Amino acid sequence: MRFVTIAVCLTLLAVPLIAGSIVVRGIQGTVEVRKGVTEQWMTVAVGDLLKPEDTIRTGERSSVVLAVGTNKVTIPDYTMVDLHDFRQMSREDLLLRLATQDILAVPDRTDDKTVIPSATILHGNRKGARSASQTSEGKTGEMLIHGARVLQDYGYYATSVLRIRSTMTLYPEVKNDLDAMIALGGGFEKLNLESEARAVYISMLAEPLPDGYRKRVAGALERLKDR
């Protein structure tokens, strides 16, 4: 009886420890994880316990199955997901985060009457030459957009739209990615943020679009008109 009691207690104690964790259930091909704020990628094995601050990515023809809470999430190949994105957000929190760019903005110092004058800048002599590392992660943006679609597939619309937006900011190669834009608009629609969705679609129509995309966007706008 005592053994059962201790076992139950230990199990109960373990639940909160595991609650925020994500467990690797299955792996196919190359799957790597980046811990927290580190920059190194490490291979993942089945049964590994991952933390929300970690990031996971899959290589070509690879996939991974994760247990996220009670959900089982399959991440297809060539995808990168920030595990912290596997969470639901309140509408208020989402709207605030959409405005984070403004909250974070550096104010115009000319408006500040108490500005402290700063000193001279010291410059080095040699400037120019882009870093080689700049292009080494050229596919990251694309992988993150794939990851955002996975988030949408599993109902994490709020984090998906935030991820698509930040990815477009950080990775120029996906800034005008039409699929990413459609996914962003679709995410807003799912979140019932019609005006945001409409703004995305209208910005797409402002540029030349292939017929297929134009039809999809026009259809989406028609859909929004009825709402």
Partner 1 sequence: MVQKHHPILKIILVIVFPALVTHCLHAQHFGSARGIGLSAYTSAVNELGALDWNPAGLSRARDWELSTTSAVLVGKGHKVKGMMFQTLGGTKRILENHTFGVRYSPGFLLDFVVPSTFQFANGGQSISFDKKISFKESYALGYGYQLSPEAAIGVSARYMEESLTDTEPFFEKDTVARIRFTDYFASSWNFDLGVQWSMNAKWHFGIVAKNLFRMKESEFPHETREYSFRPTKTIRFGATYQPTSVLATSLDLDSRRRGAAGIEINVTRSLQLRQGMFFGKEFAPFVAALASSIGWVSESVQIDAGFIQFLGTRRGAELSLQEFLTEGVRDISANQYMRNQLMLTVSVPLSVQREAMAKIEQVRIMSEVYPSSHHIHAHRPLGIARVRNISSKPIEARVSFFVDQYMDAPTETPSYVISPDATADIPLVAIFNDAVKLLPSVVLRAADVFVKASPHTGYDDKVQTRVVFRGRNDWDGDALTLRYFVTPDDPEVLRFSRTVANEHKEELATSTKELEKLVSARKLFDEFSSRLTYVRDPKQSKDRVQFPSETLALRGGDCDDLAVTYTSLLASVGISTAFVDVVPPGEEDEAHIYLMFDTGVAAASANIVSSNPKRYVVRRDFKGRETVWIPIESTMMTEGFERAWEIGAETYFRDVEAGSGLTSGWVRIVDVLSR
| Contact residues for partner 1, defined by CB under 8 A | 34, 36-39, 52-53, 55, 84, 93, 96-97, 99-101, 103-109, 113-131, 133-134, 136-137, 140, 166, 169-172, 175
Query: How many Å separate Cα 39 from the centre of its chain?
Result: 17
Least Å from the CB of residue 102 to partner 1: 8
Helix (H, G, I), strand (E, B) or coil at 121: coil
- Rounded to a whole number of angstroms, the minimum distance from the CB of residue 150 to partner 1 is 18
Residue 142 C-beta: closest distance to partner 1, Å:
13
Helix, strand or coil, per DSSP, at residue 96: helix
CB 40, min distance to partner 1, A: 9
CB closer to partner 1, 39 vs 222: 39
Structure tokens at 178: 């039409």
* Cβ closest to partner 1, residue 55 vs residue 152: 55
Q: Which is nearer to partner 1, 44 or 220 (CB)?
A: 44
Minimum gap (Å) between residue 53 Cβ and partner 1: 6
Nearest CB to partner 1, comparing residues 12 and 122 = 122
Choose between 5 and 90: whose C-beta lies nearer to partner 1.
90
Which segments of the chain are extended strands (E)?
A: 22-28, 31-34, 41-43, 49-50, 55-58, 63-68, 71-75, 80-82
Tokens for 191? 């979140």
Give the position of tokens 């974070």. Answer: 104
Bridge partners, residue 65, by sequence: 26, 74
Consecutive H or E run containing 211: helix 211-225
